[in-house]
Structure 1
Amino acid sequence: MIPDFASAGTPATPLHLVTPDSLEEALSALPAPAEAWARAQGFAAKPGEVLALPDAEGGLAAALVGLGDAAAARRGRFAAAVAADRLPAGTYALAGSPSPAIAEETALGWLLQGYRFDRYAKQGAVKTALLCPEGVDAARVQAIAAGEALTRDLINTPASDMGPADLEAACNTLAQRFGARMAVTRGADLIAKDLPLIHAVGRAAAPDRAPRLIDMRWGSEGPALTLVGKGVCFDTGGLNLKPGSSMGLMKKDMGGAATVLGLAQMIMALELKVRLRVLIPAVENSVSADSFRPGDILHSRKGLTVEINNTDAEGRLVLADALALAAEEDSALTISMATLTGAARVAVGPDLAPFYASEDSAAAAIAAGGAAVADPVWRMPFHEPYEAMIEPGIADLDNAPSGGMAGSITAALFLRRFAPAPYVHFDIYGWNPKAAPARPKGGVGMGARALLAALPQLLDL
């Protein structure tokens, strides 16, 4: 659940965004009782600092929200969003003339701060509303917030209610809403349709959680854009069983699929002129007598053979078949998103979305897009000298090179063997381990807003 902006014309309390540099000017411009109150409270415009200001009769005259200084802005984002939960109930409107970037970030942050995952327990709804700031495209911001909410909902839903069939149902709901076309290949049909890696990873699951490939298409004009999302709805590790401490968050192992679907919703809601294709291999990596095994050599759709040295490196396998399928059609750009490696998290932590790009121009556009919309990304290298690490000798490829070095890079190189060019791959975390402004603890989209901002340049829209 995510709120909307207040209706235009609703009476609203002024909301002043204040930095330490603008503090004195902001306080001096207030009515005398409000100024005296702010000074008495020691308001210093620290990031996320919120103060309600009384009028002469003790009512609510205005509110101050601190943004912090430039260094604080570099250290965090969505500082003003916390006001949505900390201010008294009511409707607010930005006062003064904040820059377009700050106004848009505040507007989006306010909506994202109001997100609640209430499927299983009631959550206190946000009691404040914001008038969309002047000059901000309300429909665009609402579409972005709604796409992010979809991603969060899908990741936050436990595997008991988000297996492969449930992920398919979520895709079908999205397709019906926007008039997209959808085809699904399930179970043994994956073998008949030459998608053997997806079948191998998911075949150990119960029949009602059978593996499948979801193929959704939307749009009839413009450049072709293909999004591929890892949909491992739960990952036990397979026969290379994860320890309990590593299995606890594995409901989020379909975070790539969830993020792709959130981005797809944004694209469709904004009616971008693209021919969109979304491919999601949806599986559960389970343990049974039919599990694929360490030492097995599997065949892929592309014809390359893969030696299995760790059944817990399954995400790249299901993505490989989906990417090979994508490569059979011309596309202006193919993007994969996956909660793929712990190595990526060790490298950049949970806040940055690391990505790989086959073209420098695409990498520059994505980096610029991320900076513009407060969705931080970081380019990683397709370091070709490491290609030898994914070549085991008795098969074409190794799904889990030994040695523990460069795990995210070798996974990306593995995927590149199957993907068409130009190609971008995101190795995301998909989880916010600690609540932050506009980002509660739990599932979170990473990189989708950066990509949305970059698409005009990436696809020459």
Structure 2
Amino acid sequence: MIDLKATLAPDRGQPARAIHLVDAAGHDDWLRQQPPRHRAALLAHRFKPTPGAFAILPGEAAEAWSAVVAVKDAGALGPWCLARAAEALPEGVYRLDAREPGDAMLGWVLAHYRFDRYRSEEAPGPRTLLTSEPGRIEPVLREAAAMMRVRDLVNTGAGDLGPAELEAAVAEIGAAHGARLTVTKGADLERGYPMIHTVGAAAIQARAPRLIELDWGRDGDPRVAIVGKGVCFDTGGLDLKPSAAMRLMKKDMGGAAHALALAELVMAARLPVRLHLLIPAVENAVSGAAFRPGDVLRTRKGLSVENTNTDAEGRLILCDALTRAVEEKPELILDYATLTGAARVALGPDLPPLFANDEGLAADLLAAGERTGDPLWRMPLWDGYDDMLKSDIADMVNAPEGGFAGAITAALFLRRFVPPATPWAHLDVFAWRPATKPGRPKGGDAYGLRAAWAMLRARYGA
């Protein structure tokens, strides 16, 4: 595991290799000013000022080389513009020529990520980027560590990460920040959180379901609840998924990973809020104890749900967790969940749908996503589709027939467990990157995490 603190350092004039930044607008002028050896090297590299392109520039001595990196706009660096160079450059110390890295520090750090739990080969050593803004280093490292935590948790095989292991991860982070841990399982879970118990009942002997809670902060500070779906593996239950759809279901606890990472950011920065983290953790398995299509289930809130699909289990465990969050009267609730395939069909893997019952909260999250390069897309809580949740025999169904507007109807289901006066946002995240991008390898990844963190800092930062 790379030491993240070795990836960024204060610039005190120490020796470092230069990285020259060019964009399409300034490339020709920059090239005319370069010595012949640089122009020859760039010609050999077939270097073009396409964002992400880079090349090594030879120096007068063999060890005196530098690098050039093409970016979209050399005057406004985004978070990922140095990531490809950070992945490819040899270990050593670097500084940008004539400017500060700013937001690009995040991608530089994240380019060092390797999921090596199951690998034997060692990762390459760090590439250290210097900055004259040392006050930015610690916040960047915290964000990078939070994103890496999401990646590590989602990438871990389900055989090594069940409800108990997820509880242990929450306990470790909570203990590091002096938070109070509460875990409800067994008979107490069955009595108090019947939906969480029911969904996890098929795996209760080997992987008992539980509700994991952290409470942190001072009395009197604004109460913020963060909820994350923790389905550690999802077979689909008796409505069994085909093997291709089950292949990545180790990532179905991706919402819990996001929620835990966001909670860690809040606690590490000592944001003046009273934090309530809730993670319903289950495995949706198949056994004689599995819940069935057609069963009528009772929620903590008292509403009855006709189960029309055992593979629509995430909303069932979330509704009990949301009910518990509401009982503490928070002024804000955020939930993360790998909830619907319909969200991926609508917006693809990179763009999480944002559902919110409060215009101010939605606007703040969207603006924060734009500022941080962590985009969200607002989707409607369309009242006209609420009738799709009607049941002939119960208060509601969990999955309407027909499959229309699946992400919306799932969000509408959750909305029934949050009072209209409580600002609430629901992010239907994929938690998985299907193809590698600079600084973002294929595998588990965080979406909407930095946007939510920026929103919370803007609202509550001191």
TM-score class, shorter-chain normalisation, is: over 0.9
| Correspondence 1:332-347 to 2 at 5 A | 332-347=331-346
Aligned to 1:349: 348
Asked if 1:90 is matched to 2:92, the reply is yes
1:69–1:107 CA distance, 2 compared to 1 (3 A): closer
Unaligned residue ranges in structure 1 (runs of 5+): none
Q: How does 1:289-328 map to 2 (within 5 A)?
A: 289-328=288-327
Output aligned runs, 1:58-69, within 5 Å. 58-68=62-72
- SS where residue 221 of structure 2 aligns? coil
Distance 1:297 1:458 in 2: 41
1:47 alignment partner in structure 2: 51
- Alpha-carbon contact 1:227-1:279 (below 8 Å) kept: yes
The equivalent position to 1:19 in structure 2, one of 11, 14, 23, is 23
Structure 2 segments unaligned to the other structure (5+ residues): none
Q: Does 1:57 align with 2:57?
A: no
* 1:439 aligned partner: 440
Q: Structure 2 vs 1, CA of residues 250 and 300 (structure 1 numbering), >3 Å: closer, same or farther?
A: same
Pick which of 29-38 and 287-296 moved more: 29-38
Contact 1:195 1:321 in 2 (8 A): yes
Tell me the secondary structure at the aligned position of residue 115 of structure 1.
coil
1:419 equivalenced with 2:409 (yes/no): no
- What residue identity is the alignment partner of 1:269? A
* Residue identity matched to 1:93: R
Letter in 2 for 1:20: A
Corresponding residue for 1:165?
A: 164
Query: How many angstroms does 1:422 deviate by?
Result: 0.6
- Write the distance in 1 (CA, Å) between the matches of 2:235 and 2:156: 17
Q: Secondary structure at the match of 2:335?
A: strand
1:17-47 C-alpha deviation (Å, 9 max, x unpaired): 2211121233344455334433553322212
Shift of 1:278: 0.4
Residue 272 of structure 2 contacts residue 460 of structure 2 at CA under 8 Å; is this kept in 1?
A: no
Once residues 458 and 417 of structure 1 are traced to their aligned partners in structure 2, the CA distance between those partners, rounded to angstroms, is 26
Corresponding residue SS for 1:108: helix
Looking at structure 2, the residues matched to 84 and 367 of structure 1 have their Cα atoms a distance apart, in angstroms, of 29
| Number of aligned residue pairs | 453
Q: How does 1:102-251 map to 2 (within 5 A)?
A: 103-135=101-133, 137-192=136-191, 194-220=192-218, 222-251=221-250
Cα shift at 1:457 = 3.9
Deviation at 1:6, TM superposition (A): 4.1
Asked whether the equivalents of residues 156 and 442 of structure 1 are also in contact (C-alpha less than 8 Å), the reply is yes
In the TM superposition, residue 417 of structure 1 has moved relative to its aligned partner by: 0.5
Query: Normalised by the size of structure 1, how large is the TM-score?
Result: 0.94
Contact 2:8–2:137 (CA under 8 A) maintained in structure 1: no
SS at match of 1:260: helix
Which residue number in structure 2 is paired with residue 448 of structure 1?
Answer: 449
C-alpha separation in 1, matches of 2:93 and 2:120: 23
Distance 1:275 1:348, change over 3 A: same
Deviation per residue, 1:294-344 (Å, 9 max, x gap): 000000000100000000000000000000011111212101100000000
In the alignment, the residues of structure 2 paired with residue 38 and residue 137 of structure 1 have an alpha-carbon distance, to the nearest angstrom, of 33
| Residues 51-72 of structure 1 deviation map (CA, whole Å, 9 limit, x = unaligned) | 11111123243211111469xx
Aligned counterparts, 1:256-405, within 5 A: 256-405=255-404
Name the CA distance, whole Å, in 2 between partners of 1:31 and 1:225. Answer: 57
DSSP-derived class of the 1:204 partner: helix
- Alignment RMSD: 2.0
